[in-house]
């Protein structure tokens, strides 16, 4: 709901300088997404179930696609940033009191793709390995650099209108806290029994997850390094990552989709995107269900903070489990 005057004609005209480039980057984001999924391979494990893993080297056509998209993305990023720079000199629309639009979503995804392209170039062509060792404070921050970027980008982009994406006080807080407790218990006690294991058995999928194994390795390495590294791991995975992911998915994406296609479809679509982002075939189903629960909490209580709290407690529980 608008709380002030809409964008002026000048701001609308200014926005068009960056929007075509943003659309190109938005398309590039999904092409890179598709390329990542094309590298997933399945092999039969000893128990007869399919184990999903990522290929060490992409197929030739995938490599060419990634290279082509990366080159075009660099060109588009230059035009995108130049267009935004011109807009910022001509109008203050970026800081205006406007309603969340599809243009905002496209621009946020465009910035995400610019960042991911820069990371691809840095780690694919410049560096031979990570900058910092796994298990150190710096290494933990490096592993979550994308989420850190989101925590800078989204509040800056929505400066002056954070309430539009649910960064505000929840309604019916006491009721929300009771529901969060119930949902957390359901996730801990019943998610595997009712969702994860049955769907994996039905599809013949192993629950061996490369992503979970990498997270476990980072947490255990941090625990074995020193107390500061362990606390950094808990803070990053248990607090920073949930806030970043919720402000993106339940804040920006779900808010827009709910307004466009309704509450049910908006929550389902944003949850599907949330599960896809993790690129984890083995745990896609539980991630999707958790996304639905987080989306319901955000929508019912008109704030992202309930979803952030549930997400944070769930993540912290996982970190503390590996600390044992």
Any idea what DSSP says for residue 49? Answer: -
Query: What pLDDT, on the 0 to 100 scale, is given for residue 314?
Result: 95
pLDDT > 90? residue 30: yes
Positions of E strands within 155-254: none
**Least trusted range by pLDDT, from 94-98, 139-143, 313-317:** 94-98
Residues 202-258 have pLDDT tens digits of 999 999 888 888 888 888 888 888 889 889 999 999 999 999 999 999 999 999 999
Residue of 180 and 324 predicted with greater confidence = 180
Band of pLDDT at residue 90, cut at 50, 70 and 90: low
Q: Which residue has the tokens 């780690």?
A: 123
Paired tokens of 4 = 């002030």
Query: What pLDDT, on the 0 to 100 scale, is given for residue 4?
Result: 40
Q: Say whether 302 sits in a helix, a strand or coil.
A: coil
Query: What pLDDT, on the 0 to 100 scale, is given for residue 59?
Result: 84
What are the backbone angles phi and psi of residue 54, rounded to the nearest 5°?
-100, 130
pLDDT > 80? residue 5: no
Any idea what DSSP says for residue 205? Answer: B
Band of pLDDT at residue 13, cut at 50, 70 and 90: very low
- Cα→Cα distances 291→97, 249, 277, 288, Å: 29, 9, 11, 5
Mean pLDDT of 280-298: 95
Could you give the CA distance from residue 28 to residue 116 in angstroms, rounded to a whole number?
11
Q: Which of 151, 81, 88 is nearest to 117 (CA)?
A: 81
Query: What pLDDT, on the 0 to 100 scale, is given for residue 20?
Result: 93
Helix (DSSP H) and strand (DSSP E) numbers for the chain: 15, 2
Q: Which residue has the tokens 């496209």?
A: 106
Mean pLDDT of 12-30: 82
Residues 49-77 have pLDDT tens digits of 999 988 888 888 888 988 999 999 999 99
pLDDT > 60? residue 284: yes
pLDDT > 50? residue 100: yes
Could you give the CA distance from residue 3 to residue 162 in angstroms, rounded to a whole number?
12
Paired tokens of 60 = 């030739």
Could you give the CA distance from residue 300 to residue 171 in angstroms, rounded to a whole number?
8
Residues 184-198 have pLDDT tens digits of 999 999 999 999 999
The proportion of the chain whose per-residue pLDDT surpasses 90, expressed as a percent, equals 63
Mean pLDDT of 125-134: 83
Q: Say whether 201 sits in a helix, a strand or coil.
A: helix
Return the axis-axis angle of helices 173-191 and 305-323, rounded to nearest 10°. 40
pLDDT > 90? residue 46: no
- Cα→Cα distances 72→99, 107, 121, 147, Å: 31, 17, 13, 24
Query: What pLDDT, on the 0 to 100 scale, is given for residue 89?
Result: 63
Q: Which residue has the tokens 């060109």?
A: 75
What are the backbone angles phi and psi of residue 44, rounded to the nearest 5°?
-80, 130
What are the backbone angles phi and psi of residue 299, rounded to the nearest 5°?
-70, -45
Question: Cα–Cα–Cα angle for 156, 158, 162, nearest 5°?
Answer: 115
Q: How confident is the prediction for the chain on average, in pLDDT?
A: 88
pLDDT > 80? residue 128: no
Q: Where are the domains of the chain?
A: 1-129, 137-324
Mean pLDDT of 28-54: 91
Mean pLDDT of 78-103: 74
**Least trusted range by pLDDT, from 5-9, 22-26, 303-307:** 5-9
Could you tell me which residues come within 8 angstroms of residue 187 by beta carbon, excluding any fewer than 6 positions away?
290, 293, 314
Query: What pLDDT, on the 0 to 100 scale, is given for residue 163?
Result: 92
């Amino acid at each position: 709901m608008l709380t002030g005057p809409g964008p002026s004609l000048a701001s609308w005209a200014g926005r068009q300088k960056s929007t075509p480039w943003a659309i190109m980057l938005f398309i590039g984001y999904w092409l890179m997404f598709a390329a990542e999924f094309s590298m997933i391979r399945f092999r039969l494990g000893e128990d007869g179930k399919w184990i999903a893993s990522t290929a060490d080297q992409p197929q030739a056509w995938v490599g060419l696609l990634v290279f082509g998209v990366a080159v075009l993305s660099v060109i588009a990023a230059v035009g995108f940033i130049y267009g935004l720079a011109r807009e910022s000199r001509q109008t203050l629309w970026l800081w205006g009191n406007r309603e969340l639009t599809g243009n905002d979503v496209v621009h946020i995804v465009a910035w995400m793709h610019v960042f991911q392209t820069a990371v691809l170039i840095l780690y694919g062509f410049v560096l031979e390995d990570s900058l910092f060792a796994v298990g150190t404070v710096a290494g933990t921050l490096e592993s979550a650099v994308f989420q850190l970027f989101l925590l800078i980008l989204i509040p800056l982009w929505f400066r002056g209108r954070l309430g539009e994406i649910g960064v505000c006080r929840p309604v019916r807080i006491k009721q929300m806290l009771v529901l969060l407790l119930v949902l957390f218990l359901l996730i801990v006690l019943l998610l595997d029994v009712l969702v994860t294991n049955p769907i994996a058995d039905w599809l013949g999928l192993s629950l061996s997850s490369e992503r979970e194994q990498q997270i476990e390795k980072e947490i255990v390495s941090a625990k074995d390094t020193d107390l500061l590294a362990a606390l950094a791991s808990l803070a990053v995975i248990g607090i920073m990552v949930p806030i970043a992911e919720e402000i993106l998915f339940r804040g920006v994406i779900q808010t827009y989709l709910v307004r466009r296609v309704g509450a049910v479809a908006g929550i389902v679509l944003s949850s599907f995107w949330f599960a896809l982002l993790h690129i984890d075939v083995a745990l896609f189903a539980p991630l999707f269900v958790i996304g639905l629960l987080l989306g319901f909490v955000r929508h019912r209580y008109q704030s992202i903070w309930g979803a952030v709290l549930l997400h944070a407690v769930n993540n912290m529980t996982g970190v503390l489990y590996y600390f044992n």
